[in-house]
């Protein structure tokens, strides 16, 4: 079940106009035009008891046209609003990257970088309470891939529903998750698995596929491709909610992997406005944990100064406030070490499927 | 007369050369070519300077078929050398022929062109070809010069005379004008690129010699031009000629005083009564030192209790007493005529022509004395442009207008640079140590009658606290200039951004909003006033090539809600020959270099422009102005006038107009020229405390040389 109500076209346009309306009202009063936004840092996210995820708090920032940089942002936002309206009218969509290039023609409203256009699209989502899917904007990043005995229907380009089994109908690279995984595009049909394992690296995903781990452990495998795309987090959430499947997360053992997990389970800072829609609070972190590095005597690298900085920032991040995470972070800091998933290969190619994962899964009661 | 030592081992001249080539500058192959170029160029510059000729110097380096052998061709438009003097000028190698007379000269730092002839002969066995043309002869003369190392005499061969234009020949260099010298020497050497290259040497030379036009070509053995560069003349004013002066008493050392006491000047028999009345000691003080007047000489000799004593009879203790009186005496600064600083404006021009950049700050400090020698420090800082921001700044070191290319780390000039806290002046200076970083180059010039080096290699200046202090002061001064410039740049950038915001972005936001909402336009003036809430000022200083004037326009915007009334003040380079040619708003002179205009009241949302033009300047002379204001509130882009500082300026100006206190100035008598001749040690070392134990320094009095024909150095003690 989707937590947020999808908006109609008219609602989307009305909400977008609201942004321009705020500017107009201010100018009519002789004030600098402005946009009001929640502060998007870790200092302004808090746990929402009702939704079970982290959301933006009450801190607001006003972006007004008193400095050149902010004024340009406002102008760009207006260009985007106009552009989205045009796309809605003509029933087209574009990627964020395409919009970035289209902005070349926006004169003083053109973007300085792709990152800027992505951030502004998110800003608009936040103030309009719409999703970028409503704006007809697609991300550039591709979604994840999945393998396992699960069946779904996908609406293809010709407008026909295609039934796909992610074990029998796909090759070794699995089923590619599209950017839009909402019900208008994907329907979850059936499955015969006990849990989904989300894996950080392609190398480890392929290792588990080659070793037949999905069959042996009766599970689905999903390749996150680093920091997971929205659609990846969204489909994990849907499978968790609609099929009631546990989500097990298997990552490298470093501060950045901790953040990947936080974005899957608790909500990402950048997208905290839609955490209830993307985050899976029941997801579990399987490894590599800081104590695994010692327990399995894994080949490791020294933490870089950036790693240490990231760990220290995590100590004060509300998402990592519980005791287990504080312990893990402090342990990694005192070890001064990090380890990759694939360092398990130290004990042979089958060690991960024969020993490590069974042991770790047994700890949380998921052994076959 | 100074005579060459008979005890000098003639046969060992080449051996001596070989042994000492490290300090003669011929120790490595890459350095040898720089040294050779340096000797040739220094001579060309010195010769032109003496004859007030604006030098045109072209340097060509040709690679030869033989590895590690280069052909150096240097041609100038100097006075040339008479045929009869060519041998002397190029062929006699007299070490120590570079005298330390009390005068600034390039020559302190080298062995001379003869060293090149010598090096060429020793390394390639080839004579050096010299072509010379003097104004009073119709033709040029070409000779091949070698050195007879036994007799230390030139061997001249292959003499040819021809009309000057013919000498052009196949080499492709063109003689322009009436006179000049061309040297062609084949030497063992290696051409190198980079920081220690001939090209860098010439570039640095051109910076401190903006009156010279210098060109450079590197040509390979197949006649292909590999590198080419040109540094055109930046000014038509040649540097002033440095004059010889007597020793200044401040900082004098006991050994030197003792030596001077041994041969004091004697009163001439027919001197006027004023002189006749003086005691011998008084006359010695008056005559043999600079800056000592008749009355001062009396005062000092009486205060020391030695008034009636004979200079030659003074004992060590007496000399010490005299020395302390000399040091304590209040004396005018040494005669700076013996120094030839480059001076602010020319440093600016020199730097700007060599390095493309926006901002130059320069300082020429007043001359000072250290150890009886006048010296003067100059610093120029150039900032911005294409220079890399993350690298240590480029350090351009000079002693008496001669670039110093080696041993940067151990040099006093570098140490002074490193000792200043550049962070506070806007350069990166990690840990406050080492060379600061930033898109800048710094020129550091020490002009002195006696440059002290750390070693005979003469590439690094020795420590000296007086010079160090002056250097630090000069650097702080250019540093302050830089800080002001940066501060102004930041202010300007801010103002520019605000202008872009209200004039471009805000109207576009407005237009987009009403287009999206399909609404009526709203007036933006109140919004602009709200956003800006200040008075802004923007100035432009532009050179107008057609009319050859510098035009200043100052635009002021009132973006506040209330009317504003101000007087604006602008700096301008007021000096002789520079005037306001167009100034429609009138105004009046407030102080020297400061003009004031009263502006009409400026209503909210309005702007006004003030323009004036200044004539009598050259392009690039004046690019930055300071604008002050009187009135309530702040103006972004101008500084509130500090009335106290203005009053101080006015007082100083008034004071400088009053006739100066009359100081008795004793003209130098010119029928005797004091020179010091270094001769190889033939007599027992009788003077303890000498600088070098191998060389005694003797003072000789001789009649002034015949009018100096010389291209360089002739007549400065090389008589036979």
Average pLDDT, chain B: 79
> Which of A298-312, B415-429, B628-642 shows the lowest per-residue confidence on average (mean pLDDT)?
B628-642
pLDDT reported for residue A25: 94
Secondary structure (H, E, C), A145-193: EEECCEEEEEECCCCCEEEEECCCCCCCCCEECCCCCCCCCEEEEEECC
Average pLDDT of the residues in A284-300: 91
Considering the domain architecture, whether residues B149 and B279 belong to the same structural domain is answered as no
Going from N- to C-terminal start, the domains of chain A cover: 9-138, 145-363
Nearest to B513 among A32, A66, A78 (CB): A78
Considering the domain architecture, whether residues B580 and B682 belong to the same structural domain is answered as no
Q: Which two structure tokens, joined as six digits, stand for A203?
A: 């190398």
Considering the domain architecture, whether residues B204 and B267 belong to the same structural domain is answered as no
Is residue B234 over pLDDT 70? Answer: yes
Considering the domain architecture, whether residues B267 and B206 belong to the same structural domain is answered as no
Average pLDDT of the residues in A321-327: 90
pLDDT reported for residue B673: 34
Q: Say if the Cβ atoms of A24 and B517 lie within 8 Å.
A: yes
pLDDT reported for residue A213: 92
Q: Say if the Cβ atoms of B516 and A20 lie within 8 Å.
A: yes
pLDDT in tens, B54-81: 999 999 999 999 889 999 999 998 888 8
pTM above 0.95, yes or no: no
Average pLDDT of the residues in B159-178: 58
- Cα gap B458→B454, rounded to integer Å: 7
* E strand spans, B562-671: 567-571, 579-582, 588-591, 594-598, 607-615, 627-630, 635-636, 639-640
pLDDT reported for residue B183: 92
Test the A interface: residue of B495, B509, B527, B529 with most A CBs within 10 Å? B509
* Cβ partners under 8 Å of residue B314, min gap 6: B261, B306, B322
Considering the domain architecture, whether residues B399 and B438 belong to the same structural domain is answered as yes
- Residue B383 in domain: yes
> Which of A261-265, B108-112, B438-442, B628-632 shows the lowest per-residue confidence on average (mean pLDDT)?
B108-112
Nearest residue in chain B measured CA to CA from A81:
B516
Considering the domain architecture, whether residues B46 and B171 belong to the same structural domain is answered as yes
Is residue B141 over pLDDT 70? Answer: yes
Is residue B649 over pLDDT 60? Answer: yes
Q: Which two structure tokens, joined as six digits, stand for B124?
A: 């390639």
Question: Does a cis peptide bond (omega within 30 degrees of 0) precede residue A288?
Answer: yes
Q: Which residues of A touch B510 (CB under 8 A)?
A: 27, 33
- Residue B541 in domain: yes
pLDDT band at B702 (very low <50, low <70, confident <90, very high): very low
Considering the domain architecture, whether residues B453 and B530 belong to the same structural domain is answered as no
Q: Which two structure tokens, joined as six digits, stand for B479?
A: 């540093």
pLDDT in tens, A97-144: 888 889 888 888 888 888 888 888 888 988 888 888 888 888 766 678
> Which of A201-215, B558-572, B699-713 shows the lowest per-residue confidence on average (mean pLDDT)?
B699-713
- Cα gap A57→A44, rounded to integer Å: 5
pLDDT reported for residue B17: 75
- Residue B208 in domain: yes
Is residue A363 over pLDDT 60? Answer: yes
> Which of A24-38, B183-197, B564-578, B662-676 shows the lowest per-residue confidence on average (mean pLDDT)?
B662-676
Question: Do B474 and B357 contact (CB within 8 A), yes or no?
Answer: no
pLDDT band at B371 (very low <50, low <70, confident <90, very high): confident
Average pLDDT of the residues in A80-93: 89
pLDDT band at B617 (very low <50, low <70, confident <90, very high): confident
Which residue would you say has higher pLDDT here, B701 or B210? B210
Q: Which residues of A touch B518 (CB under 8 A)?
A: none
Is residue B684 over pLDDT 70? Answer: no
Which residue would you say has higher pLDDT here, B357 or B285? B285
B516 interfacial to chain A (CB closer than 8 Å): yes
**CA distances (Å), origin B389, targets B423, B441, B553:** 14, 11, 31
Q: Say if the Cβ atoms of B526 and A30 lie within 8 Å.
A: yes
Considering the domain architecture, whether residues B449 and B580 belong to the same structural domain is answered as no
Q: Say if the Cβ atoms of A32 and B531 lie within 8 Å.
A: yes
**CA distances (Å), origin B182, targets B164, B167, B212:** 11, 10, 17
**Beta-bridge partner residues of B700:** B675
What is the pairing mode between strands B567-571 and B627-630?
A: antiparallel
Nearest to A27 among B510, B515, B516 (CB): B510
Q: Which helix (H) or strand (E) holds B344?
A: helix B344-354
Q: What is the CATH number of domain A145-363?
A: 3.40.1360.10
B275 interfacial to chain A (CB closer than 8 Å): no
- Cα gap B130→A90, rounded to integer Å: 86
Q: Say if the Cβ atoms of A68 and B505 lie within 8 Å.
A: yes
Nearest chain B CA: its distance from A271 CA (Å): 27
ipTM above 0.90 for this complex: no
Question: Do B75 and B216 contact (CB within 8 A), yes or no?
Answer: no
Q: Say if the Cβ atoms of B527 and A30 lie within 8 Å.
A: yes
Average pLDDT of the residues in A72-86: 92
Test the A interface: residue of B493, B496, B497, B501 with most A CBs within 10 Å? B501
Q: Give the count of beta carbons closer than 10 Å to the beta carbon of residue B454.
A: 15
Q: Say if the Cβ atoms of A108 and B526 lie within 8 Å.
A: no
Question: Do B90 and B248 contact (CB within 8 A), yes or no?
Answer: no
- Residue-number span of the structural domain to which B77 is assigned: 10-242+673-702
Angle at B325 between CA B321 and CA B326, to 5 degrees: 115
Average pLDDT of the residues in B624-638: 85
Q: Say if the Cβ atoms of B505 and A23 lie within 8 Å.
A: no
Question: Do A109 and A78 contact (CB within 8 A), yes or no?
Answer: yes
CATH code for the domain of B614: 2.60.40.1170
pLDDT in tens, B240-270: 777 767 788 887 878 888 888 888 888 888 8
Is residue B274 over pLDDT 60? Answer: yes
Question: Do A163 and A189 contact (CB within 8 A), yes or no?
Answer: yes
pLDDT reported for residue A219: 93
Percent of chain B with pLDDT over 70: 83
Of B603, B596, B524, residue with least CA distance to B557 = B603
Nearest to A75 among B497, B512, B517 (CB): B512
Question: Do B440 and B426 contact (CB within 8 A), yes or no?
Answer: no
B513 interfacial to chain A (CB closer than 8 Å): yes
Question: Do A367 and A358 contact (CB within 8 A), yes or no?
Answer: yes
Nearest chain A CA: its distance from B555 CA (Å): 21
Nearest to A17 among B517, B524, B527 (CB): B517
* Cβ partners under 8 Å of residue B446, min gap 6: B375, B376, B377, B398, B399, B400, B413, B461, B467, B471
Q: If 0-12 CB within 10 Å is exposed, 13-18 middle and 19+ buried, where does residue A39 land?
A: middle
How many folded domains does chain B comprise?
4
Test the A interface: residue of B505, B514, B522, B523 with most A CBs within 10 Å? B505
Rounded to 5 degrees, φ, ψ at B567 are: -110, 135
Nearest residue in chain A measured CA to CA from B510:
A24
pLDDT reported for residue A368: 64
Average pLDDT of the residues in A205-233: 91
Q: Say if the Cβ atoms of A71 and B516 lie within 8 Å.
A: no
> Which of A103-112, A307-316, B698-707 shows the lowest per-residue confidence on average (mean pLDDT)?
B698-707
Average pLDDT, chain A: 89
Considering the domain architecture, whether residues B157 and B260 belong to the same structural domain is answered as no
pLDDT reported for residue A45: 82
Q: What is the dihedral of CA A328, A331, A332, A336, to 10 degrees?
A: 180
Q: Which two structure tokens, joined as six digits, stand for B114?
A: 């003869």
Of A117, A125, A139, A122, residue with least CA distance to A15 = A125
Q: Say if the Cβ atoms of A20 and B498 lie within 8 Å.
A: no
Average pLDDT of the residues in B503-532: 90
CATH code for the domain of B150: 3.30.565.10
Is residue B100 over pLDDT 60? Answer: no
Test the B interface: residue of A13, A70, A75 with most B CBs within 10 Å? A75
**CA distances (Å), origin B185, targets B34, B174, B188, B366:** 13, 18, 10, 41
Collapsed DSSP state (helix, strand, coil) of residue B447: strand
- Residue B494 in domain: no
Is residue B405 over pLDDT 80? Answer: yes
Query: Of B217-226, B288-297, B338-347, where does the model show the most confidence?
Result: B217-226
pLDDT reported for residue B709: 34
B506 interfacial to chain A (CB closer than 8 Å): yes
B500 interfacial to chain A (CB closer than 8 Å): yes
Q: Say if the Cβ atoms of A79 and B512 lie within 8 Å.
A: yes
- The catalytic residue positions of A are 101
Considering the domain architecture, whether residues B80 and B215 belong to the same structural domain is answered as yes
Residues of A with CB under 8 A from a CB of B: 17, 20-21, 23-24, 27-28, 30-33, 65-68, 71-72, 74-75, 78-79, 81-82, 85, 107-109
Q: Which residues of B touch A67 (CB under 8 A)?
A: 497, 501
Rounded to 5 degrees, φ, ψ at B353 are: -80, -25
Topology given in CATH for the domain delimited by A9-138: Arc Repressor Mutant, subunit A (1.10.10)
């Amino acid at each position: 079940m989707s937590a947020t109500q999808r908006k109609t076209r008219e609602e989307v346009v009305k909400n977008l106009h609201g942004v321009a309306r705020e500017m107009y009202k201010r100018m009519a009063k002789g004030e600098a035009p402005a946009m009001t936004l929640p502060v998007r840092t870790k200092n302004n996210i808090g746990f929402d008891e009702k939704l079970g995820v982290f959301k933006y708090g009450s801190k607001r920032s006003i972006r007004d046209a008193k400095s050149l940089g902010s004024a340009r942002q406002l102008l760009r936002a207006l260009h985007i609003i106009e552009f989205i309206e045009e796309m809605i009218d003509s029933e087209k969509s574009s990627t964020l990257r395409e919009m970035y290039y289209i902005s070349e023609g926006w004169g003083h409203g053109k973007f300085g970088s792709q990152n800027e256009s992505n951030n502004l699209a998110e800003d608009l989502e936040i103030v309009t309470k719409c999703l970028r899917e409503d704006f007809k904007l697609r991300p550039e990043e591709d979604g994840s891939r999945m393998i396992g005995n699960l069946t779904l229907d996908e609406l293809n380009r010709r407008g026909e529903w295609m039934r796909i089994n992610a074990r029998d109908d796909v090759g070794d690279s699995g089923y590619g998750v599209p950017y839009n995984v909402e019900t208008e595009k994907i329907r979850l049909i059936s499955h015969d698995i006990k849990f989904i394992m989300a894996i950080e690296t392609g190398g480890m995903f392929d290792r588990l596929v080659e070793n037949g781990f999905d069959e042996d452990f009766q599970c689905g495998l999903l390749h996150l491709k680093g920091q997971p795309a929205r659609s990846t987090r969204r489909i994990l959430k849907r499978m968790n909610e609609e099929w009631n499947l546990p989500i097990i997360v298997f990552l490298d053992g470093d501060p950045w992997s901790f953040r990947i997990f936080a974005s899957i389970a608790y909500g990402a800072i950048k997208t905290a406005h839609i955490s209830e829609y993307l985050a899976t609070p029941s997801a579990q972190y399987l490894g590599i944990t800081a104590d695994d590095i010692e327990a399995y005597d894994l080949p490791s690298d020294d933490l870089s100064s950036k790693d240490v900085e990231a760990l220290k920032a995590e100590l004060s991040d509300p998402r990592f406030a519980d005791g287990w995470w504080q312990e893990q972070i402090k342990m990694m800091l005192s070890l001064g070490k990090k380890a990759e998933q694939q360092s398990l290969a130290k004990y042979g190619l089958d060690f991960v499927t024969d020993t490590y994962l069974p042991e770790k899964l047994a700890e949380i009661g998921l052994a076959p | 007369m100074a005579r060459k030592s008979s005890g000098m081992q003639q046969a060992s001249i080449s051996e001596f050369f070989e042994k000492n080539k490290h300090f003669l500058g011929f120790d490595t192959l890459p350095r040898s070519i720089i040294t050779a170029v340096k000797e040739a160029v220094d001579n060309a510059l010195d010769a032109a300077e003496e004859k007030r000729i604006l030098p045109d110097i072209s340097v060509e380096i040709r690679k030869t078929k033989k590895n590690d052998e280069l052909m150096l061709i240097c041609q100038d438009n100097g006075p040339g050398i008479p045929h009869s003097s060519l041998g002397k000028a190029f062929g006699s190698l007299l070490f120590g022929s570079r005298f330390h007379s009390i005068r600034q000269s390039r020559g302190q730092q080298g062995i001379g062109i003869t060293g090149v002839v010598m090096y060429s002969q020793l390394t390639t066995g080839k004579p050096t070809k010299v072509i010379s043309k003097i104004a009073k002869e119709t033709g040029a003369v070409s000779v091949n010069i070698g050195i007879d190392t036994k007799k230390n005499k030139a061997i001249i061969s292959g003499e040819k005379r021809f009309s000057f234009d013919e000498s052009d020949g196949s080499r492709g260099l063109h003689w322009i004008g009436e006179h000049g010298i061309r040297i062609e020497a084949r030497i063992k050497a290696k051409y190198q690129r980079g920081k220690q290259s001939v090209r860098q040497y010439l570039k640095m030379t051109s910076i401190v010699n903006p009156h010279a036009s210098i060109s450079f070509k590197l040509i390979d053995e197949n006649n292909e031009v590999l590198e080419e560069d040109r540094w055109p003349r930046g000014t038509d004013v040649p540097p002033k000629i440095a004059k010889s002066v007597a020793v200044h008493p401040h900082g004098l050392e006991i050994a030197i005083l003792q030596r001077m006491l041994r041969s004091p000047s004697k009163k001439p028999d027919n001197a006027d009564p004023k002189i006749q009345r003086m005691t011998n000691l008084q006359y010695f003080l008056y005559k043999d030192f600079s800056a000592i007047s008749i009355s001062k000489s009396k005062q000092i000799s009486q205060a020391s209790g030695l008034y009636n004593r004979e200079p030659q009879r003074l004992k060590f203790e007496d000399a010490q007493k005299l020395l302390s009186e000399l040091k304590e005496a209040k004396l005018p600064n040494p005669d700076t005529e013996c120094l030839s600083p480059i001076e602010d404006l020319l440093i600016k021009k020199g730097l700007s022509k060599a390095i493309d950049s926006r901002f130059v700050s320069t300082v020429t400090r007043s001359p000072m004395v250290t150890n009886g020698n006048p010296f003067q420090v100059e610093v120029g800082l150039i900032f911005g442009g294409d220079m890399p921001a993350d690298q240590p700044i480029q350090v351009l070191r000079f002693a008496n207008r001669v670039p110093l290319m080696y041993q940067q780390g151990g040099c006093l000039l570098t140490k002074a640079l490193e000792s200043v806290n550049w962070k506070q002046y806007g350069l990166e200076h990690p840990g406050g140590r080492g060379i600061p970083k930033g898109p800048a180059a710094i020129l550091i010039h020490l002009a002195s009658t006696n440059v002290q080096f750390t070693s005979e290699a003469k590439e690094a200046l020795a420590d000296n606290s007086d010079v160090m202090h002056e250097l630090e002061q000069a650097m702080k001064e250019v540093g302050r200039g830089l800080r002001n410039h940066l501060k102004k740049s930041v202010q300007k950038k801010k103002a520019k951004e605000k202008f872009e915001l209200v004039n471009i972005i805000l109207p576009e936001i407005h237009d987009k909003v009403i287009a999206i909402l399909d609404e009526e336009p709203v007036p933006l003036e109140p919004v602009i006033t709200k956003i800006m809430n200040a008075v802004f000022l923007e100035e432009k200083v532009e050179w107008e090539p057609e009319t050859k004037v510098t035009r200043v326009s100052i635009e002021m915007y009132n973006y506040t809600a209330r009317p504003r009334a101000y007087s604006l003040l602008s700096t301008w380079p007021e000096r002789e020959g520079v005037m306001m040619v167009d100034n429609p708003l009138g105004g009046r002179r407030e102080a020297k270099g400061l003009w004031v205009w009263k502006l009409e009241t400026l209503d909210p949302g309005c702007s006004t422009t003030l323009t004036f033009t200044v004539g009598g300047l050259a392009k690039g002379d004046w690019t930055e102005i300071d604008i002050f204001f009187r009135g309530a509130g702040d103006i972004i882009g101008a500084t509130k006038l500090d009335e106290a500082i203005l009053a101080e300026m006015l007082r100083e100006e008034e004071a400088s107009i009053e006739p100066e206190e009359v100081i008795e100035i004793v003209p130098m008598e010119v029928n005797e020229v004091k020179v010091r001749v270094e001769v190889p040690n033939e007599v027992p070392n009788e003077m303890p405390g000498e600088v070098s134990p191998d060389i005694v320094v003797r003072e000789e009095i001789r009649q002034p040389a015949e009018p100096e024909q010389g291209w360089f150095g002739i007549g400065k003690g090389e008589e036979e």
